[in-house]
Chain A
């Protein structure tokens, strides 16, 4: 069965960076884009960007253009999202999600990774 398993919760100080992983299983890894979405406490869903596991091409939301890097390791079927220059308002749950190849809906999600930014 399709599964996306994310790394565990992280605590960082302002100005630091964090790298979250998302390990895929149960499907052809290179056939589906992986997206990253975050959710601040009590708030809605905010799209951050996507990566093609096949070629590694990425696209990011303008809000994160200079602060985020998305990479993948095809040998371990893992996608990574690294966010730099963390601020307190980056405190959120970060989700990875697979996009179906037809209409692009996010059909499978990781369990979420809580990132807390606090001095």
Chain B
């Protein structure tokens, strides 16, 4: 199975700050990398798929980049509603696997 490792595990930052979350795969996943946001009591919500493609309705402050084994989710200017836990996921090979999550809080 492909292992996905996210960093940091948690992050506390201020409104307006630029936030970067990284995700590393244990082998190349050829761009099949997705990002989800989850708030307490809700299912995960797809934000970005295929490394950098936006889901309809996702604010433009979110962006994704990367290739091979190293990927990044960036929030250009953090807003209060961005609080939650973010997960990366590879769908390059079965089983699809998730990172352990990054909990994002506002200072």
Contact = CB atoms under 8 A, between A and B. Distances in A.
Interface of A: 35, 44-47, 59, 61, 95, 97, 99-100, 102-107, 109-112
Interface residues of B, number: 21
Given A44-B87, A45-B44, A59-B95, 20 more contacts: A44-B98, A44-B100, A44-B101, A61-B95, A95-B43, A95-B44, A100-B49, A103-B32, A103-B49, A105-B34, A105-B46, A105-B89, A106-B36, A106-B44, A107-B46, A107-B55, A109-B43, A109-B44, A109-B45, A110-B43
B96 interface: yes
Contacts of B94: 59
Contacts of A35: 96
B20 interface: no
Contacts of B84: none
B100 A112 contact: no
Interface of B: 32, 34, 36, 43-46, 49-50, 55, 87, 89, 91, 94-101
B25 to A, nearest CB: 15
Contacts of A100: 49
